Amino acid sequence: MKNFMLLLREEIEETQKLPPQEFQELVAAHMNWVQELTEKGIFKGGEGLEYEGKTIKNATRVVSDGPFIETKECVGGYYIIQAADIDAAVEIAKNCPCIKYPGSIEVRAVSVY
Amino acid sequence: MEKDENISPQEKIGHLFRELSGKMTAALSHFFGLQHLEFVEDVVQETFYAALKTWPTHFPANPQAWLFKVAKNKAINLIKRNHHIRDHLIKKYWNLHHENDLFSIMDGAFDEGIIHDNQFRLLIAGSHATVNSRNQIIFILKTLGGFGTSEIANALIMNTEAVAKNYQRTVKALKEKGIGLEDVSVRETRAKLDLVHKVIYLLFNEGYKASSGPHLLKEELCFEAIRLAKILLQAHCFNPATNALLSLMYFNLARFQGRVGQMGELILLKDQDRKLWDKQLIGIGFQYFSESMTGENLTSFHIEAAIASLHCISSDYKSTDWSKLLFYHDKLVALNPSPVTHLNRIVVLKMIKGPGFALKQLLENEHLQTPKKNYLYFAVKGQLLEEQHMFSDAVADYEAALSLAENQSEKRFLSQRLEQCKINAQAGNK
């Protein structure tokens, strides 16, 4: 078993427009999902990220506002799960509640050697 | 996360966000002032967004307290960022010495009792901001009910842009008229209650009307109307009419399941399966009904509730106490002489004196078609004719009714009657 990080990218303006009931259903769906994975013993952690932040360009050391430079999508949070291989991790990620909303999920194996 | 509980997170939260959206909107509209409703909306949305980011892995022990705390922090951040709003607030609360005073004022706005008062004030302000009942309903659903624009559009069978536009229009009117929440005194609002009752009942009927909208959402409108009426009761504003309205809504809600068939078709009272009526809701209806029996004013809600209660306790259509019903309908017509109350009375009259007598009364009251042609007149006339086997005459009236009806279920019902009468008329000619 390996650990995988799911980077959840969302279109923040779309998410923030959700009416209260739908917001709540989305929150509850995430909670359910985490609970489910926890019960299976394959949930290893995760956090949501606030949408305000700074980005530092390495070579120029220019600091700009916002984590999102050109794209509408930005990383809204991450989960770390355990799976046999990348394909299994992708299958799990496909059930993440945020899949129903605009955005994407990046699945990356946590490097261990 | 609490792992050892068996209930799912969704069950833990219920309709929390919608309800708290209304509460936070009331608290923040009071704090910022109604003219800054767009800030209020931003804060509420940002608060829910924060819950989305946090709750999946850190579910708070007290979700409501958590959301209120976050909303207050978001509002404080907004004040710190935005000089315009800070200046406005310093002017509004003129005795401010320090920014911290502002925060204690905000704490006060989130007090449960103060929230109730402000929900009530928001209800009054929304009802008085516009004369258009649709727009009143839209404003109230969005601010107090926590309904989204698209949900309102679906429930009211409108398009989303129209709902958004109408909402903005009401917000603008509030600004222009300078109606602020602090202008609405809870004690002086009894006179204004009539209009609020009317708006709540309209909202209920939007949900109750059997039409093509999604069934579940329609039921939610009914529950929202009930919730708002309860806010009126809680805002130290005891009023027999509010109790009468609540009992009427419960009596009607109790029959919700029985009145629409599986295909969404309208089922007439006489054909409804009364076993489907909800006894518990009928019981609650009677509790409010008895609470309404005080004071001196007999309102149309009282009479309508009395009528609904009689239907609720009759074991079948035939054994309904029709003469008592006629007594109530007479009172309703006297109190509120509209074509609709007259026509409903004629239907009851038919049950006692027969369709011939009722038809005579109907024809003597040609004015019931006016001021604008209403489908109910022709529908009732068609029915009275059909019951006397005057099928070809009934055809003409059902056709007229059909051309005037707007509601899908009613249209479907009328065209069924129309077809049946056509068949019967042809059979009679042979």
B316: left (phi over 0), alpha (psi -120 to 50) or beta: beta
CATH of the domain at A21: 3.30.70.1060
Q: Extract the tokens encoding B125.
A: 């302000």
Give tens-digit pLDDT for B249-269: 999 999 888 887 777 677 888
B59–A16: do the CB atoms touch at under 8 Å? no
Which residues does chain A have within 8 Å of residue B57's beta carbon, measured at their own beta carbons?
34, 45-48
Domain residue extents for chain B = 1-110, 112-237, 247-320
pLDDT of residue B386: 94
Q: Which of A14, A18, A23, A81 to mutate to test the interface with B (most CBs of B within 10 A)?
A: A23
Which residues does chain A have within 8 Å of residue B51's beta carbon, measured at their own beta carbons?
23, 27
ipTM of this complex: 0.91
Residue B45 banded pLDDT, cuts 50, 70, 90: very high
Domains identified in chain A, total number? 1
* Nearest residue to B203 via CA among B266, B120, B123, B258: B123
Give tens-digit pLDDT for B1-14: 334 445 565 566 66
Residue B332 clears pLDDT 80, i.e. is over it: yes
B52–A33: do the CB atoms touch at under 8 Å? no
Domain carrying residue A80:
2-109
The more confident residue out of B172 and A58 is: B172
The more confident residue out of B409 and B119 is: B119
B53–A50: do the CB atoms touch at under 8 Å? yes
C-alpha span between A77 and B414 (Å, rounded): 55
| Average pLDDT value for chain B | 86
The residue in chain A having the minimum alpha-carbon distance to the alpha carbon of residue B5 is A35
pLDDT of residue A87: 94
Angle of the B240-254 helix axis to the B300-313 helix axis, nearest 10: 30
Q: For A31, which of B9, B15, B17 is closest by C-beta distance?
A: B9
* Nearest residue to B130 via CA among B160, B92, B170: B170
